[in-house]
Amino acid sequence: MSDLVVIVYPTEARAEEMRQKVFALQKEYLIEIGDAAIAVMHEDGKVKLNQLLNTTAMGAASGSFWGLLIGAIFLMPLAGAALGAASGALGGALTDYGINDDFMKELAASLQPGNAALFVLVKRVTGDKVLEAIKGSGGTVLKTSLDHTREQALRDALAGVSAAAPEAGAPTTVG
């Protein structure tokens, strides 16, 4: 099961910096990401989504390849490529991968102009190491699907607060 985490940053650049940090953690196999998108509230009140995957471009590329291939069979490769690219782009534009675009736009509508929200769909995480890596990085948790304990640990890590650990030599009870 995946968990959704939405963190608000004062600028798009800061949100992008954190997204890159999450990608670096993924390269270290500490976290597995299903999707990571940034929604920015502009001064004019419009929300812009900055997603990992441009499905329109991907659809156009795939469609032009298949259109070229089918067009070559019928001795019309350019027409086939053009028709394939157009239909692929349309199909890609209508496809939604990862976090729902409408959900991101709706949630980002509550942001202050200039602020950016980092949406991360987490498939798997090594919690203690990831929290240590993002400790003190700032940001405000807007929404999560985490339980209360893990959400509070995330809030504390972003704020740079150390988690309370038992003192060395202190007795621990198991029960």
Q: Is residue 103 part of a domain?
A: no
Closest CA to 115 of 138, 99, 134, 133: 138
If DSSP states are collapsed to H, E and C, what string results for the chain? CCEEEEEEECCHHHHHHHHHHHHHHHHCCCEEEEEEEEEEECCCCCEEEECCCCHHHHHHHHHHHHHHHHHHHCCCHHHHHHHHHHHHHHHHHCCCCCCCHHHHHHHHCCCCCCCEEEEEEEEEECHHHHHHHHCCCCCEEEEECCCHHHHHHHHHHHHCCCCCCCCCCCCCCCC
Indicate whether 98 belongs to any domain: no
pLDDT of residue 66: 63
Q: Answer whether 16's CB lies under 8 Å from 139's CB.
A: no
Which of 6-20, 76-90, 115-129 shows the lowest per-residue confidence on average (mean pLDDT)?
A: 76-90
What was the pLDDT predicted at 120?
92
40 and 68 in one domain? no
Examine residue 105 and state whether it is found in any structural domain, yes or no: no
Closest CA to 33 of 21, 49, 47: 21
Q: Do 26 and 60 have their domain in common? A: no
Domain that holds residue 15: 3-52+116-159
> Is residue 31, in this structure, part of any structural domain at all?
yes
Number of folded domains that form the chain: 2
Q: For residue 119, what pLDDT is reported?
A: 93
Work out the pLDDT band at 23, boundaries 50, 70, 90: very high
- Distance between CA atoms of 6 and 53, rounded to whole angstroms? 18
Between 10-24, 30-44, 140-154, 158-172, the lowest mean confidence (pLDDT) is in 158-172
Task: Compute the average pLDDT of residues 132-160.
Answer: 88
Contact between 12 and 38 (Cβ < 8 Å):
yes
Residue 132 included in any domain: yes
| pLDDT one-digit tens code per residue, 50-71 | 876 554 455 556 656 666 666 6
| Cα 170 from Cα 96, distance rounded (Å) | 52
Write down the pTM of the prediction: 0.68
Please tell me which residue, 151 or 51, carries the higher pLDDT value: 151
Confidence of residue 171 (pLDDT cuts 50, 70, 90): very low
Residues 10 and 48 in one domain: yes
